[in-house]
Amino acid sequence: MSILSGSSILITGGTGSFGKAFLKEVLENHNPRRVVVFSRDELKQYEVRNHFNNDPRLRWFIGDIRDEKRLRRALHGVDYVVHAAALKQVDTAEYNPFEFVKTNILGSQNVIEASIDAGVKKVVALSTDKASSPINLYGATKLTADKLFICGNHYAAAYPTRFSVVRYGNVMGSRGSVIPFFRKLGEEGKPLPITDLRCTRFFITLPQAVKMVTESFEFMQGGELLVPRIPSMKVVDLAHAVVPGAELVDVGLRPGEKLHEEMISPEEGRRAVKIAGGKYFIIQPDLATWGYETPADAEPVEAGFAFRSDSNDEWYTREQIANIIAEGI
């Protein structure tokens, strides 16, 4: 039986691409008592409510994670929290830096404070590969948020609440994904703009991302930063998988954009282990005053280990990418 069965769950940012996929999974397969959707946009809440046919297990809270008082109200009686709310566009962050700080950093601390005070059992926060060795403002805010959640276990050591983080790459098919953009240009017979023809990226599907979160609740002690063992892909292969034979135009990297992504830096690699037969990596906490212990099935990684999209030993082929897209990702 799932740990989420019969429980009360709250998801911040629950009307986005991940939120809708998470709601579908938990409602169909985990039998929660109720799921609180906490988000800012009433139109999106209306659309998602209709999408799930007004499922009576769903509760709808209009609110912003910048508002700690509203969070406290929404968290009453909640057992588990998924923190998915964030500002996410890399180039937008470069022009609006403090807005990202207010949501991604201060908002995350509000989630921590309110969860502890509400007696929440476990919180899983969503992160990004941009948080590893960040060069842009968005990545820096997410790295700070990651640290807040991991260190939140010290902060809450005398309380029952525990915090963990899941870090993954670009999500295929999510809102803002390049795939619909490429498809539209292809239908119009236009060339596809590539920020740099050498770019490599980590990509994960929405079902994979959701499964990471639900599995995290099962085994987390608090303090883990979970990273999936997933293949890399070349952005040019992705483009040709979406629009075979398309003309590609190198337009140069956007502000704050990396040529290659990283999910585990060499410094983080010193604290990394493999679990679940190599399915996931865990970056373990430096200090664990709340009682974290290395998992029994953990395997060490090699000395000097780092997990980068350009030096990965697993790669999606163009055909595999096309098949994933054809399956509806």
User: Nearest Cα to 240, choosing from 306, 309, 319?
Assistant: 319
- Can you say how many angstroms the Cα of residue 186 is from the centroid of all Cα atoms in its chain? 29
Tell me the sheet residues that pair with 30.
none
Tens digits of residue pLDDT in 105-122: 999 999 999 999 999 999
Using CA atoms, how far residue 144 sits from 134, 190, 289, in Å, is: 10, 40, 20
Query: pTM of the prediction?
Result: 0.95
pLDDT, residue 176, reads 67
Containing domain of residue 96, as a range?
8-171+204-230+263-308
Whether 121 is catalytic is no
Tens digits of residue pLDDT in 268-316: 999 999 999 999 999 999 989 999 999 999 999 999 999 999 999 999 9
Residue 190 counted as domain residue: no
Greater confidence (66 vs 169) lies with 66
Burial of 9 (0-12, 13-18, 19+ CB in 10 A): buried
Give the pairing of strands 232-234 and 200-205: antiparallel
Residue 277 counted as domain residue: yes
The CATH number assigned to the domain holding 68 equals: 3.40.50.720
Residue 329 has pLDDT above 70, yes or no: no
Q: Quick one: what percent of the chain has pLDDT higher than 90?
A: 92
pLDDT, residue 325, reads 87
Residue 321 counted as domain residue: no
Tens digits of residue pLDDT in 174-196: 766 789 899 999 999 999 999 99
Residue 273 counted as domain residue: yes
Residue 71 counted as domain residue: yes
Residue 50 counted as domain residue: yes
Tens digits of residue pLDDT in 21-45: 999 999 999 999 999 999 999 999 9
Rounded to 5°, the CA angle 179-184-187 comes to 125
Q: Measure the CA–CA gap between 114 and 72, rounded to whole angstroms.
A: 5
Count of domains in the chain? 1
Using CA atoms, how far residue 130 sits from 11, 90, 192, 308, in Å, is: 22, 9, 24, 11
Rounded to 5°, the CA angle 117-122-125 comes to 100
Catalytic residue among 130, 142, 234, 258: 130
Residue 246 counted as domain residue: no
Helix count (H) and strand count (E) of the chain? 12, 17
Q: What's the sign of the alpha-carbon dihedral 318, 202, 83, 208?
A: positive
Q: Are 82 and 166 in contact (CB under 8 A)?
A: no
Helix axes 137-155, 107-118, angle to 10 degrees: 20
The average pLDDT across 42-68 equals 97
pLDDT, residue 326, reads 86
Residue 318 counted as domain residue: no
pLDDT, residue 34, reads 98
